[in-house]
Structure 1
Amino acid sequence: MRWTGADGFEADDDVSRIDVDVVQGFLSTSYWAKGIPREVVARSIAGSLNMGVYAADGAMVAFARAVTDRATFAWLADVFVLDEWRGHGLGRFVVSTLVDHPELKGVRRFMLATADAHELYRSYGFSELADPSSMMAIRHDAADLYGHP
């Protein structure tokens, strides 16, 4: 599906349009996926509902994905806008098109983790967990997984 935004930007969930090199290039320097290899990014895209945002010339400028069963649960992940394209409302565009995606209607729990964008995500209805003690995780250090910090 495609959505048209302001200034000729387009959001699209077509996985064949995603530039894996752009996604890996951004994520490999992010605080949440530092050093992530291209093959891991490609697998993460293959297993997710993805949203790319594209400029008028077709270049990918923003991305987000939902790890989901498309029925009961979704995890919003890897949201970014390339630095040179910030200030155009593309963060809101990519998140809103993914959160409102028809394949995610009726999902009972939509979650995410963020270190620095709490207010942005509150505007979509996200909130801190009422009882975080019920959540658990297995966490592996990126250096152990990818062989570098």
Structure 2
Amino acid sequence: MICSASSPYGLVSVSTDKNKLDVPFIQHFLKDIYWAAGRTMAEVQITIDNSFCFGIYLNDKQIGFARVITDYVVFAYLMDVFITEEHRGKGYSSILINSMMKEPKLKEVKIWRLATSDAHFLYEKFGFKLLAHPEKLMEKIIK
């Protein structure tokens, strides 16, 4: 466990222990969300196996997830950040992102990136900004 705190709703904790992750819960959420629609259980497991993962729990029940792809020195990319709908608006996403930003294993990372269509306000609280030079980035999407 990397963080725990009391909330009006109970004990909130954030953990990087992959053994605590509820993979069916994660896949059930991701399969219907715009950025991961259709992701299978096998694909979710592969992404977990190859990422630095964070689970957020309320009274030991998982309510959210996030993962980081990183080399632990130069670059980190945040992915699959979510809090279930019934737990939104209570500050849990901020607790999750704050825990990620303060994680000792990630303290040397110099460049953090992410993509979002609807949560700019959240990430701006942690210093994220629109790309200064988006014209320098490229991508290849295989469907």
TM-score (norm 2): 0.93
Q: In structure 2, what is the Cα distance between the partners aligned to 1:129 and 1:2? A: 30
* More deviation, 27-36/87-96: 87-96
Question: How does 1:68-83 map onto structure 2 within 5 Å?
Answer: 68-83=70-85
The question of whether the paired residues in 2 share the 8 Å contact of 1:20 and 1:41 is answered with yes
The question of whether the paired residues in 1 share the 8 Å contact of 2:69 and 2:77 is answered with yes
Q: Counterpart of 1:49?
A: 52
Equivalent of 2:136 in 124, 134, 137: 134
Equivalent of 1:12 in 6, 10, 15: 15
Runs of 4+ in 1 over 3 A off after TM superposition: none
The question of whether the paired residues in 1 share the 8 Å contact of 2:67 and 2:79 is answered with yes
Give the aligned length: 140
Amino acid at match of 2:74: T
Q: Which structure carries more strand by proportion?
A: 2
| Residues 1:30 and 2:40 aligned together | no
CA deviation after TM superposition for structure 1 residue 2, in Å: 2.3
CA deviation after TM superposition for structure 1 residue 72, in Å: 1.1
Q: Which structure carries more helix by proportion?
A: 1
| Residues 1:116 and 2:123 aligned together | no
Q: Counterpart of 1:147?
A: none
CA deviation after TM superposition for structure 1 residue 62, in Å: 1.0
Equivalent of 2:68 in 66, 90, 115: 66
Q: In structure 1, what is the Cα distance between the partners aligned to 2:109 and 2:2? A: 21
TM-score (norm 1): 0.90
Amino acid at match of 1:102: P
Unaligned runs of 5+ in 2: none
Q: In structure 1, what is the Cα distance between the partners aligned to 2:57 and 2:121? A: 25
Over the matched positions of the two proteins, sequence identity in percent amounts to 35
| Cα deviations by residue, 1:7-62 (Å, 9 ceiling, x for unpaired) | 21110010110011111111111110000011111111111111101111x21111
- For the aligned residues, what is the CA RMSD? 1.0
Structure with the bigger RCO (C-alpha within 8 Å, sep 6+) is 1
Q: In structure 1, what is the Cα distance between the partners aligned to 2:73 and 2:46? A: 21
Partner-residue secondary structure (3-state), 2:86: helix
Q: Counterpart of 1:104?
A: 106
